[in-house]
Amino acid sequence: MRKLIITLLMICVYSTVYAQQLTIKSVNRRPQDARARTNPRDDGNGKKCAIIRVGVVGVENLVFPDAVGNVDRSLSEYVVYVPEGLKTLRYNNKEGKNLGVIKFDDWDQEINSLASYDVIFESSDHLRSAIFSIQPANATLVFDGKRVEINKNGMAMINKPVGEYSYKVEAKGFLSQQGKVTLEEDDISTVTDVVLEEQLYPVSIKVVPDNATVFIDNVPYNKASLSDLKLSEGTHVVRVTAENYKDEERSIKVGPLMVPESFTLKAAKQEVVKHKEERTRTKVNIRNAFYLAGGIGAIVPEKDVNFTLGGLQFDFSFIHHFGGILAMREGIGVSLLTPTYSDDFEGKELLEDSLGHIAVDIPIQLGISIPFGKYNKHLFSIFAGGYGRGIYLSKGKDEAELYREKLSGDHFELKEECYDWGVRASFKLDISKFTIGADISKSLNGYGYFGSVTIGMKLYTLSKD
């Protein structure tokens, strides 16, 4: 019983779809249609095809056995490639049943290579197509009181008998649009383009200072253009800038009940503004930078000995900046050092654990500082100059005396105190208030080389002469 019902339903559907009788209304050449030339297709015999555009409303899934390659269907039209000299074009339903034949000789048409032709069918119910091209594509179309589906490209097609019909198109954030479409006997399809106008709402934005520039979604506006400002509904990013002031940025929500927005910029910090100006001013500016830093350092003796001194390094330095680029550095550094021996000897570990040194450095250097970054807040500095150093045995004097003769009486690390001087190169990278530094020194007193790497903080005090 169930199979019988399904069979009857299929027969009814089949009868409904193909009960319409198709008659040929017209066959004409389309001399201005260039598709056959711009998108040619070979007929398999070394010649180029012609194109037959078959227009029929309300009938889907027609099959053309004489076509060359695939048949394209767009809305109410089939695009059929056929070989040159074709006399008849059969059209079937999707089950393969022949529905009829187009005889081109009856219409006094000769099918030529790379030419295009129109074949217009008339169905027994005299349907016509109302075709809509709508933007935005997510809009809603109501045609003759019924909602119609719109595809992702904003296209919709409705098949109706000849007559006049009303429509309405709506989309969120846009003004609705409505009108009428007349489907006429002589036109198989009527195309209507609908582009909705975006719904805009008045926006009031007040800014201080008056010379500020307002960027809305990265589009600049001056004060005059803000007086009649209108924006689409939703969230927008507003950024306000002015010279010598800090930028302010925030999101605003625009809609029918929007309240006025106010932006009052705060003056930029004085030191930032002066820092930015220093590279262009001709009079001398002095910018003093105080640094506190800590890290690691090591002394590698120049003599043929098998030990190094290494440990913690602490620096307090004071840097003068002249004219925004010239600089002078002075300060004091303190290192807490212990020896490390490469030789193996009795009591080595005890000696290394027992001895401790304090090294006090006083550098004096000249160099350059190059500002960079927004407002020139960051610096890269290079210095060269000299230093003086005192090294003191802070602990392990008894152990030093015990091993003095075994190691060598001339080793300065076993003396209670010694003094050194030499040349030094320094590098500093300042990122805002943080600083990273490196020092490389060469003793002129035979004590070898010294290197250190430190990180720390800096504080500025600004003055002008």
Task: Go through 107-139 and write b for each residue having 16 or more CB atoms within 10 A of its CB, e for each that does not.
Answer: eebebeebbbbbbbbbbeeebbbbbbebeeeeb
User: For the domain that residue 281 is a member of, what is the CATH number?
Assistant: 2.40.160.20
Same domain, 180 and 211: no
Q: Read off the pTM.
A: 0.44
Decide which of 79, 107, 122 is a domain's last residue: 122
Range of the domain at 259: 200-264
**248: in domain:** yes
290 and 378 fall within a common domain: yes
Mark whether 236 and 137 lie in a shared domain: no
Kindly state whether residue 292 falls inside one of the protein's structural domains.
Answer: yes
| Residue 229 and residue 294 share a domain | no
Per-residue tens of pLDDT for the chain, all 465 residues: 434 333 333 333 333 344 457 889 899 999 999 999 999 999 989 999 999 999 988 787 899 999 999 999 887 889 999 999 999 999 998 888 999 999 999 999 999 999 999 999 987 777 889 999 999 999 999 999 999 999 999 999 999 998 999 999 999 889 999 999 999 887 888 999 999 999 999 999 999 998 899 999 999 988 778 888 999 888 999 999 998 899 999 999 998 888 889 999 998 865 444 444 444 443 333 467 788 888 898 888 776 666 787 888 898 888 887 766 788 889 898 988 887 777 666 666 766 776 777 888 899 999 988 888 766 778 889 999 999 888 887 776 666 666 655 555 445 455 677 888 899 999 999 888 889 999 999 988 877 888 999 999 987 655 443
Asked if residue 302 and residue 386 are part of one domain, the reply reads: yes
C-alpha span between 118 and 51 (Å, rounded): 9
Q: How many CA atoms lie within 13 A of 61 on its CB side?
A: 8
Answer yes or no: is 316 within a domain.
yes
Q: How far is CA 215 from the centre of its chain?
A: 18
In a domain, 346, yes or no: yes
- Number of domains composing the chain: 4
Amino acid code (one letter) for 121: F
- 214/357 same-domain check: no
Residue 115 corresponds to which tokens in the numbers above?
Answer: 């030419």
pLDDT of residue 110: 95
In a domain, 78, yes or no: yes
